[in-house]
Chain A
Amino acid sequence: MHGLLSMLIWLPVGAGLGVLLLGDRNILAGRWLALLASLATLALTVPLWAAFDAGSAVPQLTERLPWIPRFDAWYALGVDGISLPLIVLTAFMTVPVVIAAWTVIETRPAEYYAAFLIMEGLMIGVFSATDALLFYFFWEAMLIPMFLIIGIWGGPRRVYATIKFFLYTFLGSVFMLAALIYMYVKGGSYSIASLQTLPLSLVEQRWIFLALLLAFAVKVPMFPVHTWLPDAHVEAPTGGSVILAAIMLKMGGYGFLRFSLPIAPDASRELDLLVIALSLIAVIYIGFVALVQQDMKKLIAYSSIAHMGFVTLGAFVVYEIVRNTHSLRGAGLGLDGAMVQMISHGLISGALFLCVGVLYERIHSRQIADYGGVVNTMPVFASFMVLFALANTGLPGTSGFVGEFLVILASFNASFWYSALAAVTLVLGAAYTLWLVKRVIFGPVTSPRVAALDDLNGREFVVLSALALAVLVVGVWPAPLLKVMQPSIHHLVAQAIATKI
């Protein structure tokens, strides 16, 4: 179907503007419009998945219109095996956000829905742009709705958190822009495909790699530029946390796969230890940090950083695997793991933030100490929470297992120590997640407020069931996902280990 990607981008944006125009007075209509639009967007991903030829690595369903002829910049869209799952994830995760806000958001609801719908369109734009300038356009534009979401509907320290979030991301992005322009001046095109084949000397690659690393490391976020994330998550409203954790962090990982590895392969090979070291620090050190958190959202935020460490680890172990085993297949395993980890973490962290949202809505506290024995009053909720917590620890049968397993397996081929250190997360992740569950869900009822809790309502049940189902499907049967990614991952490995000098 032609124009499918454009529809995926502009349908939510248009609906968002529509909700904005309806205003707070017609919020009932606005809510339904938002829900229908997000469902329609999700529905559009079905023909997208169907039309996608999983046997090919070239961008498909391409659209190409002249945008700025002077810069040879095009409104060029396309999907491959790397962007397709992320687009589906984006469309999938926006629906729960819209539903979860139904009765919760009371101040300026129209703007709330509008911000999320517009952001959905822009995020899909980021994943489907095949022109670097268009990519950057969406990448930056997306900051504005998120800035407003945290700032308007956030917690007490929302202003600090949102400005920190914006400036951190902006700082990284500006240097990425400088690098993109440099390559444009050199090669005369902003098309991502031509940037990937642009010959660059090692010195140039190093600088470009570092500029891109700054942008993507902030977004992922990697140690030591991760400090904005716990603040942003804690202060953001539930929907903001969900989108932030489920989609926005993935853009950093996507950037590494789409830009860093193919554009600067020699520099990536040279500096891979840097990224691997930072990833392992994220996995272990941040894991310990998560252990001592008193705030549920903060704990999940730190857990996100640790889990995203697997993504960057899986992406950058390819060089040592190829060096040690000369096996492209083995290298592909690491990237497979990185991709699955992104999807899985998107589902699980989103679900966990929704769970915290469910509790917060009832008790208005995120402090672990305020809870205890929730299972006694909310048994259904407790089952979901335990499921997602176990998925977060990487229990086999859930999506969390597949990604971590693939990455650890792949890093064995790189070095025993990488996988040994990465495997620490199995212990740490279990420790902080299960301890959280123990303190919040199990045990005797600790306070009258917990005793007065109502279990999930229908709306919440539907949302959490859908997510639980997705977590289990990806965990039990990841084959379709892996199959769709296969050719693109192979192509990426070839690009990453080729030399440009």
Chain B
Amino acid sequence: MHEIVLTWSSVAAAVPEISLTAAICLILLVDVFAGERGRRVTPTLTLLALAVGAALTVRYGHVTERAPLFAGMYVADELGFVLKLAGFLLVAVALLYSRTYLENRSILRGEYYVLALTALLGIFVLVSAGSLLTVYLGVELLALSVYAMVAFDRDSGVSAESAMKYFVLGAIASGALLYGMSLIYGLTGTLDLAEIAARLRAPNTAGVILGLTFIVVAVAFKLGAVPFHMWLPDVYEGAPTSVTLFIGTAPKIAYFALALRLLAQGLAGTASEWVQMLAALAVLTLVVGNVVAIVQSNLKRMLAYSTIANVGFIVLGFVAGTPDGYAAALYYTLVYVLVALGSFGVILLSSAKGFEADLLDDYRGLHQRDPLLALAMMMLMFSTAGVPPFVGFWAKLRIFQVLWETNHLWLVVIAAGMSVVGAYYYLRVVKLMYFDEPPTALPAAQPAARPAAGVRLALGLNAAAVLLLGVLPGPLLDLCARLIH
């Protein structure tokens, strides 16, 4: 066993987690004592805490070399550094978009912000996990926070139902994960992922493969890959939109890290097995996600199936089974998250008190009511469809490229065909916004609070980033490749 010595240099890399934990405690306390005034203080304080955390991370937490900390439980590397910064940013923007929505539904409470921060802490733990134990801790911390967030609107039966579904199915997935981990632990005698990687060598015994299967199931569940996707549309549709936005963004980074740390790094020795499992999952995911999305009438639900379809592409990156493939999956994840942030942001900004703006028909003629919002949404939709000059195109291109490099002809054909199917329902959103007349009777509800101009500006920047990264994709591509190699 390593001897654990706590010195500043040994914990400096964990500064994001430390600052976040401190912030959680502080905000919880402040919120209790601030009472009603907390409604104004807590959101601002949370954003401040995220900014400070990000600043501290940049100042002290930058690591360039991969280094195990805390007896190997925790791995500090540049990938973790970048993903955590992305986490800070995503959660900050997500909370920024959500504020008016929460206010209009009288669920703007301190606990919401605290739960978002604990979920972020779970994400961080997962991103830096160096052992099966840390992986599980991260997964559960994230999942439990999110279950509570889904049920946050206590008066809504649909939200409660979604939360229940999510919780029960999530518990089964956690069980599968734990069971798989216990098998791997029993067969290798270690929890340390680096050690496991060193001890597992092909050909693998049936026991290892059994353990692997359970782990793959759990990862597929968390990512939302078919046939373990059932929770996703229900939760996306049933949860308050602000929570859907949250679930759809930052946790995706964590689950990418989960797949990377567990499968690509820890269980690298079983790559030939899980590549086949993931290939089957990817094909199913692409087909079901894209085809089912076509018939949806609820935008949140449609975007849920679109998420599933995009997860199919992320999984394809893993199917390639090469560092380039993981880099492609990372790039795809980051790009997807950026676009999802904007798309759900548009739903949030279109909503008003008593008007969820979650039906596709609510977007009829949006262009005439709010041209800028429609423009942003159009850019985001074309990006997800994979049309240049938007960044989504490069994400798909990168996946095609790694598939060709590993000679997966049929996967290229299926992915290409499914991109076309997918284009249809993204185009339909553009059609509703731009080609249709707005409904004559607009929803009578008047927004009690309107989003601040700054929030609209943030959404504009979000959409502009999608265009800018699409015209000049080089730097982000290079970054992703560097992080993986």
Contact of A219 with B by CB under 8 A: no
Q: List residues 160-194 of chain A with CB under 8 A from any CB of chain B.
A: 162-163, 166-167, 170-171, 174-175, 177-178, 181-182, 184-185
CB contact between A143 and one of B387, B416, B434, B481 (< 8 Å): that residue:
B387
Stretch with Cβ within 8 A of A (4 or more), from B109-117, B212-220, B300-308, B423-431 = B423-431
Report Cα–Cα, A177/B399, bound state, in Å: 12
Q: Is B404 a contact partner of A151 (Cβ separation < 8 A)?
A: no
User: What's the least CB distance linking B306 to chain A, in Å?
Assistant: 16
Residues from chain B with Cβ under 8 Å of A170 in the complex: 387, 419-420, 423
Contact of B473 with A by CB under 8 A: yes
Contact of B477 with A by CB under 8 A: yes
Report Cα–Cα, A228/B57, bound state, in Å: 54
Q: Is A177 a contact partner of B481 (Cβ separation < 8 A)?
A: no
CB contact between A68 and one of B404, B412, B474 (< 8 Å): that residue:
B474
Q: With A152-B435, A159-B431, A185-B404 as given contacts, are A178 and B413 in contact (CB-CB < 8 Å)? A: yes
Report Cα–Cα, A80/B73, bound state, in Å: 61
Report Cα–Cα, A166/B413, bound state, in Å: 19
Report Cα–Cα, A140/B435, bound state, in Å: 21
Minimum CB distance partner of A133 in chain B: B397
Q: Is B424 a contact partner of A141 (Cβ separation < 8 A)?
A: no
Q: Is A174 a contact partner of B435 (Cβ separation < 8 A)?
A: no
Number of residue pairs spanning A and B whose beta carbons lie under 8 angstroms apart: 78
Q: Is B388 a contact partner of A178 (Cβ separation < 8 A)?
A: no
Contact of B400 with A by CB under 8 A: yes
Residues from chain A with Cβ under 8 Å of B477 in the complex: 68, 70-71
Q: With A70-B478, A177-B416, A185-B405 as given contacts, are A166 and B423 in contact (CB-CB < 8 Å)? A: yes
Report Cα–Cα, A71/B402, bound state, in Å: 12
Contact of B382 with A by CB under 8 A: yes
Report Cα–Cα, A69/B412, bound state, in Å: 24
Residues from chain A with Cβ under 8 Å of B419 in the complex: 170, 174
Q: With A68-B474, A140-B393, A170-B423 as given contacts, are A178 and B412 in contact (CB-CB < 8 Å)? A: yes
Residues from chain B with Cβ under 8 Å of A288 in the complex: none
Contact of B389 with A by CB under 8 A: yes
Contact of A435 with B by CB under 8 A: no
Q: Is B401 a contact partner of A151 (Cβ separation < 8 A)?
A: no
Q: Is B416 a contact partner of A175 (Cβ separation < 8 A)?
A: yes
How large, as a class, is the contact surface on chain B? Answer: 20 to 34
Contact of A418 with B by CB under 8 A: no
Q: Is B420 a contact partner of A167 (Cβ separation < 8 A)?
A: yes
Q: Is B388 a contact partner of A141 (Cβ separation < 8 A)?
A: yes
Q: Is B474 a contact partner of A144 (Cβ separation < 8 A)?
A: no
Report Cα–Cα, A184/B401, bound state, in Å: 8
Q: Is A167 a contact partner of B435 (Cβ separation < 8 A)?
A: no
Q: List residues 382-440 of chain B with CB under 8 A from any CB of chain A.
A: 382, 387-389, 393, 397, 400-401, 404-405, 412-413, 416-417, 419-420, 423-424, 427-428, 430-431, 434-435
Interface string of B447-485 (1 = CB under 8 A from A): 000000000000000000000000011100110010000
Q: Is A158 a contact partner of B423 (Cβ separation < 8 A)?
A: no
Residues from chain A with Cβ under 8 Å of B413 in the complex: 178
Interface string of A67-78 (1 = CB under 8 A from B): 111110000000
Report Cα–Cα, A118/B437, bound state, in Å: 25
Q: With A159-B431, A166-B427 as given contacts, are A67 and B474 in contact (CB-CB < 8 Å)? A: yes
Residues from chain B with Cβ under 8 Å of A71 in the complex: 401, 477
Minimum CB distance partner of B368 in chain A: A108
Report Cα–Cα, A141/B434, bound state, in Å: 18
User: What's the least CB distance linking A139 to chain B, in Å?
Assistant: 8
User: What's the least CB distance linking B417 to chain A, in Å?
Assistant: 8
CB contact between A141 and one of B389, B427, B431 (< 8 Å): that residue:
B389
Report Cα–Cα, A166/B426, bound state, in Å: 12
CB contact between A70 and one of B388, B393, B472, B474 (< 8 Å): that residue:
B474
Residues from chain A with Cβ under 8 Å of B427 in the complex: 147, 163, 166-167
Report Cα–Cα, A334/B210, bound state, in Å: 64
Q: Is B404 a contact partner of A181 (Cβ separation < 8 A)?
A: yes
Residues from chain B with Cβ under 8 Å of A158 in the complex: 435
Report Cα–Cα, A22/B434, bound state, in Å: 19
Minimum CB distance partner of A176 in chain B: B416
User: What's the least CB distance linking A177 to chain B, in Å?
Assistant: 7
Residues from chain B with Cβ under 8 Å of A68 in the complex: 473-474, 477
User: What's the least CB distance linking B425 to chain A, in Å?
Assistant: 11
Contact of A273 with B by CB under 8 A: no
CB contact between A137 and one of B389, B416, B430, B481 (< 8 Å): that residue:
B389
Chain A interface residue count, Cβ-Cβ cutoff 8 angstroms: 31
CB contact between B434 and one of A151, A175, A178 (< 8 Å): that residue:
A151
Residues from chain B with Cβ under 8 Å of A137 in the complex: 388-389, 393
Report Cα–Cα, A69/B405, bound state, in Å: 18
Report Cα–Cα, A400/B416, bound state, in Å: 39
Residues from chain B with Cβ under 8 Å of A395 in the complex: none
Q: Is A178 a contact partner of B382 (Cβ separation < 8 A)?
A: no
Residues from chain A with Cβ under 8 Å of B431 in the complex: 151, 159, 162-163
Residues from chain A with Cβ under 8 Å of B435 in the complex: 151-152, 158-159, 162
User: What's the least CB distance linking A129 to chain B, in Å?
Assistant: 12
Minimum CB distance partner of A136 in chain B: B388
Contact of A40 with B by CB under 8 A: no
User: What's the least CB distance linking B301 to chain A, in Å?
Assistant: 21
User: What's the least CB distance linking A445 to chain B, in Å?
Assistant: 37
Q: Is A181 a contact partner of B387 (Cβ separation < 8 A)?
A: no
Q: Which of A67, A140, A158 has most B Cβ within 10 Å? A: A140
Q: List residues 327-383 of chain B with CB under 8 A from any CB of chain A.
A: 382
Q: With A69-B474, A152-B434, A181-B404 as given contacts, are A141 and B387 in contact (CB-CB < 8 Å)? A: yes
Q: Is A185 a contact partner of B401 (Cβ separation < 8 A)?
A: yes
Q: With A166-B423, A177-B400 as given contacts, are A70 and B481 in contact (CB-CB < 8 Å)? A: yes
Q: Which of B416, B435, B477 has most A Cβ within 10 Å? A: B435
Minimum CB distance partner of A175 in chain B: B416
Residues from chain B with Cβ under 8 Å of A171 in the complex: 420
Contact of A148 with B by CB under 8 A: yes
Residues from chain A with Cβ under 8 Å of B404 in the complex: 178, 181-182, 185
Report Cα–Cα, A379/B279, bound state, in Å: 68
CB contact between A167 and one of B400, B424, B434 (< 8 Å): that residue:
B424
Report Cα–Cα, A152/B397, bound state, in Å: 30
CB contact between B382 and one of A144, A174, A177 (< 8 Å): that residue:
A144
Residues from chain A with Cβ under 8 Å of B412 in the complex: 178
Report Cα–Cα, A170/B421, bound state, in Å: 10
Report Cα–Cα, A170/B417, bound state, in Å: 10
Residues from chain B with Cβ under 8 Å of A70 in the complex: 474, 477-478, 481
Report Cα–Cα, A136/B396, bound state, in Å: 14
Q: Is B388 a contact partner of A140 (Cβ separation < 8 A)?
A: yes
Minimum CB distance partner of B423 in chain A: A170
Report Cα–Cα, A151/B427, bound state, in Å: 11
Interface string of A110-143 (1 = CB under 8 A from B): 0000000000000000000000000011001101
Report Cα–Cα, A234/B70, bound state, in Å: 70
Residues from chain A with Cβ under 8 Å of B397 in the complex: 177, 181
Report Cα–Cα, A163/B388, bound state, in Å: 17
User: What's the least CB distance linking A370 to chain B, in Å?
Assistant: 26
Report Cα–Cα, A333/B382, bound state, in Å: 42
Minimum CB distance partner of A174 in chain B: B416
Report Cα–Cα, A163/B473, bound state, in Å: 28
Residues from chain A with Cβ under 8 Å of B417 in the complex: 174
Interface string of B292-310 (1 = CB under 8 A from A): 0000000000000000000
Residues from chain A with Cβ under 8 Å of B382 in the complex: 144
**10 closest Cβ pairs, A-B complex:** A151-B435, A174-B416, A185-B404, A68-B474, A137-B388, A171-B420, A140-B388, A141-B389, A141-B388, A181-B400
List 11 interface pairs A-B (beta carbons < 8 Å), by A numbering.
A68-B474, A69-B478, A71-B477, A143-B387, A148-B430, A152-B434, A166-B427, A167-B423, A167-B424, A177-B400, A184-B401
List residues of chain A with CB under 8 Å of any chain B CB.
67-71, 136-137, 140-141, 143-144, 147-148, 151-152, 158-159, 162-163, 166-167, 170-171, 174-175, 177-178, 181-182, 184-185
Known: A163-B431, A178-B400. 9 other contacts (CB 8 A): A140-B393, A143-B387, A147-B430, A151-B430, A163-B428, A167-B424, A167-B427, A182-B404, A185-B405
